[in-house]
Structure 1
């Protein structure tokens, strides 16, 4: 029996509207779930979970009730209530199974307690609507297992008794692997498309970078030029030093740190260039960022004190010019008043005579 034509048309219209809405967002997008489980002993496991869309915290998992708490107002309306119920149920089953599996392996392989298991899993959605899932498992901060999405298989990152036990279980118990695949593949991709629609404003948020250039002198023979860029969003940014208008190539004299988060959900970056004092070159820090469009921020260093003195002198000269004009106006007014008074006295004397 074929479905009614009206239902097919409505479905096509829904898919068209959904795809057309999120397709206006350019680039690759990632949803990832971060799980940290602390195994204190065989009977006590504490698990924390965080969900991210790009770098936006969208939800956390309550470690006591295993329920989802939403961090953005648009996250909960993005999916029907029934879908959230299904996701919570799948997460509870997954966490119960994975905790039981790890505890069994730890006891069988005499793994000492306490230890920490971390998992980072999710999906990437590309501009052409293709997707890729990923999953990484860590043990006490070290890589443990990796999911090969191209071959749908798990591989060892750390060859230990526990990792081999875990790998053998995943290969032998296909039902659990299929549940994980549904959670991190189909569910993840479907949910992301809705998040891209409802969270478009958050994803398109842009904050202009604030750039400061200053110098430090660790020794008389060395001058460190520092370009500090902060308050920008989104995260991708390009920072370069220019010497006499030409970009300084990578080398031991150039050190650019990682992009670090600020408390206000923006980012900061610092680039340091080592130069010889009074080497005769001009230097400038160039910043390119999405919020600037096709423009670049170019903040020069060098002759800063001269520029400051020039500005102060210009200000003083301007003030002196204004004062001179005021004095001239007062002098002219008083001269005009004296002339009028003199003419008035002469007129009075003439009348008396």
Structure 2
């Protein structure tokens, strides 16, 4: 089984190299956040993620799954998907009922929020690892380990009481174990297979330069924007010749609405030292041909425009003078 898993991962990993969006390990997880405003009013939001790519969503307070991509069903049959959806729905219903029935015993104070994350993490040279983690009010509360619910130290006595109850239901524990150890890894691999064309696509970045807010007198902030690239891994650096500028500051890589990524890289310099600096971009979609943008070339259009405006003003003045001189000559004649 491990050999088969390794072979499939090596085949299905997007791009098939170290510069891909899904570097080992690869994780598929379902996240559900439930807000308990009172004993009679609860709201829940759910989503599923393949690493940092959202693949599924749940309608508010509903067990209806929204498949966000044509390949989000993987290679599972409709019957398998319905079975998994029903199991998940039953688990969250029972979890809510347990909280409702034992709210006073566990000293749960309304309103409170419960976060649940469950799924599997796959490694090329190791077996998959399943997990379920539960958070209460944003802190670790309990987790599922080796067929048992284990309280987190932050959960205190309340977490111990919850685990003691959950561990009584061995049938539920066996179902969770099967989901984590068998169903989840199979579904993760089927997502990679069904979505292979999408996940392995290469989209070239666009890059441009702009000045940022001045950090102080005599200083400049040079900003290099890189957007629209996929997969996510990218290298962007301010350079002077072939020397990397150590003061380069890199923002988080942020998602665009179309599934591509955006990055902003800036450098603070003395205004007199900006000349000769360049922003260099490396990405797997560029075929080894870096994008290089020179700050001198960015700033030169402004001077060109200014020169054109000055020239036009001078020409207009010359034309006015010639016209006036010609009128004076004609009147004198």
The answer to whether TM tops 0.5 is: yes
Q: Distance in 2 between matches of 1:152 and 1:132?
A: 15
Aligned partner of 1:206 among 202, 207, 212: 202
Report the CA distance between 1:48 and its aligned residue: 2.2
What is the aligned partner in structure 2 of residue 244 from structure 1?
A: 241
Deviations 1:275-310 (A, max 9, x none): 111037622222222222333222221354447768
Q: Distance in 1 between matches of 2:243 and 2:5?
A: 49
**Secondary structure, aligned partner of 1:39:** strand
Further displaced range: 201-210 or 274-283: 274-283
Aligned partner of 1:49 among 37, 46, 49: 46
Deviations 1:179-220 (A, max 9, x none): 222223311101112111111112112221111122233422
Aligned pairs for 1:65-144 (under 5 A) are: 65-76=62-73, 78-128=75-125, 130-144=127-141
What is the aligned partner in structure 1 of residue 311 from structure 2?
A: none
Q: Distance in 2 between matches of 1:15 and 1:177?
A: 25
Deviations 1:74-101 (A, max 9, x none): 2336211221121012112211222123
Q: Residues 299 and 191 from structure 1, CA distance in 2 versus in 1: closer, same or farther, beyond 3 angstroms?
A: same
Q: Distance in 2 between matches of 1:267 and 1:210?
A: 11
Larger radius of gyration: 1
Further displaced range: 204-213 or 121-130: 121-130
**Structure 2: any 5+ residue segments left out of the alignment?**
17-22, 308-333
What is the aligned partner in structure 1 of residue 328 from structure 2?
A: none
Q: Is the 8 A contact 2:6 2:124 kept in 1?
A: no
Q: Distance in 2 between matches of 1:65 and 1:159?
A: 28
Greater RCO (CA < 8 Å, at least 6 residues apart): 2
Poorly superposed stretches of 4+, deviation over 6 Å:
14-20, 310-313
**Secondary structure, aligned partner of 1:76:** coil
Q: Distance in 2 between matches of 1:204 and 1:135?
A: 29
Aligned partner of 1:159 among 155, 159, 163: 155
Q: Distance in 1 between matches of 2:92 and 2:103?
A: 16
Q: Distance in 2 between matches of 1:237 and 1:16?
A: 26
What is the aligned partner in structure 1 of residue 251 from structure 2?
A: 257
Q: Is the 8 A contact 2:74 2:191 kept in 1?
A: no
Deviations 1:317-346 (A, max 9, x none): xxxxxxxxxxxxxxxxxxxxxxxxxxxxxx
Q: Is the 8 A contact 1:23 1:127 kept in 2?
A: no
Q: Residues 286 and 167 from structure 1, CA distance in 2 versus in 1: closer, same or farther, beyond 3 angstroms?
A: farther
Q: Is the 8 A contact 2:121 2:128 kept in 1?
A: yes
**Secondary structure, aligned partner of 1:107:** coil
**Secondary structure, aligned partner of 2:73:** helix
Matched, 1:267 2:264: no
Deviations 1:112-160 (A, max 9, x none): 11211112221122334732223332223333334557x9763515233
**Structure 1: any 5+ residue segments left out of the alignment?**
1-13, 314-353
**Secondary structure, aligned partner of 2:27:** strand
Q: Distance in 1 between matches of 2:15 and 2:171?
A: 36
Q: Is the 8 A contact 2:35 2:44 kept in 1?
A: yes
Aligned pairs for 1:1-353 (under 5 A) are: 22=12, 26=16, 27-28=23-24, 29-76=26-73, 78-128=75-125, 130-147=127-144, 154-156=150-152, 158-216=154-212, 217-249=214-246, 253-279=247-273, 282-302=276-296, 304-306=298-300
Q: Distance in 1 between matches of 2:32 and 2:95?
A: 11
Q: Distance in 1 between matches of 2:102 and 2:287?
A: 54
What is the aligned partner in structure 2 of residue 334 from structure 1?
A: none
Q: TM-score, normalised by structure 2?
A: 0.76
What is the aligned partner in structure 1 of residue 321 from structure 2?
A: none
For these two proteins, the number of residue pairs brought into alignment is: 296
